[in-house]
């Protein structure tokens, strides 16, 4: 049985959503924390990240940043205007926010440049093995799965935890001081935009998914959505771990040539 959902409480409170969604969020919390609290952010926050690790992170994460609007476009293709309130909400939201994402790739390249990883290395360098896992997963779930699954895996899970770690790094005076003073503002722009102070995107995506699914979706559908969210966190964590695998600097520079 599927009953309609319409949020009445505050958007950014878990209690405003159906019990099945609250349960999913609680069950995925350990996987989310492993990304949010990864040692990569500690290395940045403390100003002690080495060039090879930073290079691995910038190059390895680039495809996820550059292709994120395309994942949203794949989800947009699943919508049909007038089919349901959830479809209409998703369509409006995706159309609006695909445009918001358009400059984020350029801001990522600005961050890389300021952090000592030339943009040509990001654009043409070979990504460390395993760092494309999240990109591949987002393409799969956005292209082949349901609208609710695609939005929860990307706009809720990926965007949500990214906002959390971005805020931690952006707040770090030590990290800012580790960057060249000239050009520091554009270097930090990507982090500033993704810092989660007032970011409503993940909550909006959650509300849309709950509207699509209703208050009482089938248990097997709930389990599938949980798996999709958790897989997003696991793929991000695996990619970060692969960024920590060191390569001799001459190999890194040879790959980027």
Check residue 198 and give its pLDDT. Answer: 57
Name the average pLDDT for the chain.
Answer: 93
**Number of structural domains found in the chain:** 1
pLDDT, tens only, 41-88: 999 999 999 999 999 999 999 999 999 999 999 999 999 998 999 999
123 belongs to a structural domain: yes
Name the pLDDT band for 1 (thresholds 50, 70, 90).
very low
Residue 45 lies in a domain: yes
For residue 103, what pLDDT band results from cuts at 50, 70 and 90?
confident
Q: Is residue 7 part of a domain?
A: no
Tell me, yes or no, whether 26 lies in a domain: no
pLDDT cut 70: percent of the chain above it: 93
DSSP line for the chain: --------S-TT-GGGS-HHHHHHHHHHHHHHHHHHT-HHHHHHHTT---HHHHHHHHHHHHHHHHHHHHHHHHHHTT--TTS-HHHHHHHHHHHHHHHHGGGHHHHHHHHHHHTT--HHHHHHSPPPTTTTHHHHHHHHHHHHS-HHHHHIIIIIIIHHHHHHHHHHHHT-HHHHHTS-STTHHHHTHHHHHH--SS--HHHHHHHHHHHHH-SS--HHHHHHHHHHHHHHHHHHHHHHHHHTS---HHHHHHHH-
- Kindly state whether residue 5 falls inside one of the protein's structural domains: no
Which domain CATH number covers 242? 1.20.910.10
Per-residue pLDDT reduced to its tens digit, 113-127: 999 999 999 999 999
| Predicted local distance difference test score (pLDDT) of residue 21 | 98
Percentage of the chain lying above the pLDDT 90 cut:
88
Residue 175 domain boundaries: 33-256
pLDDT exceeds cutoff 60 at 251? no
Q: How confident is residue 146, by pLDDT bands cut at 50, 70 and 90?
A: very high
- pLDDT at res. 99: 84
Say if pTM beats, i.e. exceeds, 0.85: yes
Give a yes or no: residue 140 inside a domain. Answer: yes
Position 18 in a domain: no
User: Residue 17 domain-assigned?
Assistant: no
């Amino acid at each position: 049985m599927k009953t309609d959902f319409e949020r009445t409480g505050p958007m950014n409170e878990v209690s405003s959503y159906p019990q099945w969604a609250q349960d999913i969020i609680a069950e995925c919390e350990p996987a989310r924390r492993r990304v949010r609290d990864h040692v990569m952010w500690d290395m940045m926050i403390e100003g002690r990240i080495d060039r090879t690790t930073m290079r691995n992170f910038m190059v390895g994460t680039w495809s996820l940043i550059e292709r994120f609007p395309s994942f949203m476009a794949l989800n947009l293709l699943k919508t049909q205007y007038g089919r349901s309130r959830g479809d209409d909400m998703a369509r409006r939201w995706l159309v609006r926010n695909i445009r918001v994402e358009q400059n984020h790739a350029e801001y990522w390249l600005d961050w890389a440049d300021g952090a000592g990883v030339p943009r040509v290395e990001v654009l043409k360098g070979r990504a460390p093995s395993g760092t494309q896992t999240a990109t591949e997963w987002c393409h799969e779930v956005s292209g082949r799965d349901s609208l609710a699954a695609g939005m929860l895996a990307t706009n809720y899970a990926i965007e949500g935890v990214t906002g959390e770690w971005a805020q931690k790094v952006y707040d770090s005076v030590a990290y800012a001081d580790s960057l060249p003073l000239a050009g520091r503002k554009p270097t930090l722009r990507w982090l500033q935009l993704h810092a989660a102070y007032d970011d409503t995107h993940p909550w909006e995506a959650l509300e849309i998914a709950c509207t699509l699914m209703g208050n009482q979706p089938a248990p097997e559908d709930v389990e599938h959505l949980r798996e999709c969210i958790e897989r997003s966190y696991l793929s991000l964590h695996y990619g970060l771990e692969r960024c920590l695998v060191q390569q001799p600097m001459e190999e890194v520079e040879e790959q980027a040539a």
